Amino acid sequence: MIKGNLLYEGKAKTVYETDNPNELLVYFKDDATAGNGEKHGLIPGKGVINNKISAFFFKQLKDRGIKSHFIETVGEREMLVKRLDMIKLEIVVRNIVAGSLVKRLGLPEGTPLNVPVIEYDYKSDELGDPMLNRWHIMAIDVATIDELNQIEHIALTTNTILREILKAKNVDLIDFKLEFGRDISGDGEVLLADEISPDNCRFWDTQTHEKLDKDRFRQDLGGVEEAYQEILHRLTL
């Protein structure tokens, strides 16, 4: 595998072409942002940790029948993935009230939800990633109804699997964000993409409810690097 041209640089990752047109190389950075990029900082070692945690989860999901873009890790900070036609949506799955849901529902943080909630956000920095519903998504041709059905099925199944894995590690999965894309090397099958890490998941200690995720950076709680390391440690014990 030969690392090629820079294809995309985001807030937490950079993506490079490779000598295989159907594969990309993802590099995980230590940069951390919050508030739509208004707050910026560095979390030492975050890229290494997120690469390892994401690889762990993608492997676990594959063993349980969930396909993703993940192929293999090729370095401490780098992951080889399938090249996908990315769907311009962020899918948020919520199990417990936290973050923006506190204001929107007027419920205390930590309130369990009767059923998992799925939310769609339109990936657009210019518009501030607005929330959409299924009708918006179909109206502006972001995804078809069949693709949305697949996305929701994969998201809810992933939620069940991750909660089971984490519960055994004394961690509660509060909510998390997923992204999806179409497999351009095959028949356009919808695959899980992006990452699964403390950057896009809320992890709380089951007993103490200590936050072990990016909220420690967002809320200036301190111990950010230690929280990321703790999740990796628990998962790989």
Residue 22 · residue 6 · CB < 8 Å: no
pLDDT at 222: 95
pLDDT at 37: 67
Question: Mean pLDDT for each consecutive 10-residue tract of the chain (237 residues)?
Answer: 92 96 97 82 96 98 98 97 98 97 96 98 93 97 98 98 98 98 92 98 98 96 97 94
User: Encoding tokens for residue 1?
Assistant: 């595998």
Q: What's the N-to-C CA distance of the chain in angstroms?
A: 31
Catalogue the long-range contacts made by 216-221 (C-beta closer than 8 Å, 24 or more residues apart).
Answer: 217/32, 217/34, 217/39, 217/41, 217/43, 218/34, 218/35, 218/39
Q: Which of 34, 31, 30 is nearest to 45 (CA)?
A: 30
- 135: which DSSP letter? H
* Cross-strand pairs, 173: 203
Task: Characterize the bridge pairing of strands 13-18 and 23-28.
Answer: antiparallel
**Integer angstrom CA distances of residue 85 from 5, 111, 143, 171, 190:** 18, 36, 11, 33, 9
User: CB neighbours of 6 closer than 8 A, spacing ≥ 6?
Assistant: 14, 15, 16
- What is the C-alpha separation between 46 and 57, in angstroms, rounded? 16
Chain centroid to Cα 10, Å, comes to 14
Residue 165 backbone zone (phi > 0: left; psi -120 to 50: alpha; other: beta) = alpha
- What is the C-alpha separation between 117 and 114, in angstroms, rounded? 9
Domains detected in the chain = 3-84 (3.30.200.20), 85-223 (3.30.470.20)
pLDDT at 190: 98
pLDDT at 221: 95
pLDDT at 65: 98
pLDDT at 39: 86
- What is the C-alpha separation between 82 and 72, in angstroms, rounded? 10
- 211: which DSSP letter? B
- Tell me the pLDDT tens digit for each residue of 10-25: 889 999 999 999 999 9
Q: What pTM did the predictor assign? A: 0.95
